[in-house]
Amino acid sequence: MLSQNMKEALNRQVLMEAQSSQAYLAMGSWAEIQPGLKGVTQFFFRHSDEERMHMLKLIHYINERGGFGIIPALDQPVLTFVSLKKAFEQLFEHEVKVSESINNLVEIALTEKDYATHNFLQWYVMEQVEEERLARECNDKLEMIGDDKSGLYLFDRDIMTMDKE
């Protein structure tokens, strides 16, 4: 059985995962109307789906443990980006915030001696390590590419295989 405090904290994470999904969905839609970003478009849409899965996993867990997974209202995400680099910078910053939030949940679980939730959260801890690594890698590559069109072409081609390990 989850404590009230833990239920609320997990539901805040549901909101955060929903916001992530929505933000990447917006990035996907923006990328889809840019020339030559087919790979990036697929990457963002797929990432959005993954975030929805993260949200759903939390909802099921809360419900299984005597709580109620609350489907949150969402603000409109950022819709347009001055460059692909800016979109990926935003993605990286967002993932760092998500990692902080997961760490905070782990801390609550430990304080409350809620070892089941602690165990459940370990999947998210490792997922965040991978998400941050991937986002950092994309940012580093885009930094190197700069305005080089052929570099961007290769980036777009390769991003589908630059997946999580």
Closer residue to ligand OFO, CB minimum distance, 53 or 79: 53
Q: Give the residue, chosen from 31, 62, 87, 98, that forms a contact with ligand OFO under the rule CB under 6 A.
A: 98
Q: Give the residue, chosen from 7, 9, 18, 20, that forms a contact with ligand OFO under the rule CB under 6 A.
A: 20
Q: How many residues does the chain have?
A: 165
Closer residue to ligand OFO, CB minimum distance, 11 or 152: 11
CA distance 139 to 102: 22
Q: What b/e sequence results for 62-94 when a residue is b if at least 16 CB atoms lie within 10 Å of its CB, and e otherwise?
A: beebebebeeeeeeebeeebeebbebbbbbbeb
Which amino acid, one-letter code, is at 29?
S
**114 belongs to the binding site for ligand OFO (CB under 6 A):** no
Using CB under 6 A as the binding criterion, the count of chain residues that bind ligand OFO stands at 8
Given the rule CB under 6 A, which residues bind ligand OFO? Answer: 17, 20, 51, 54, 95, 98, 127, 131
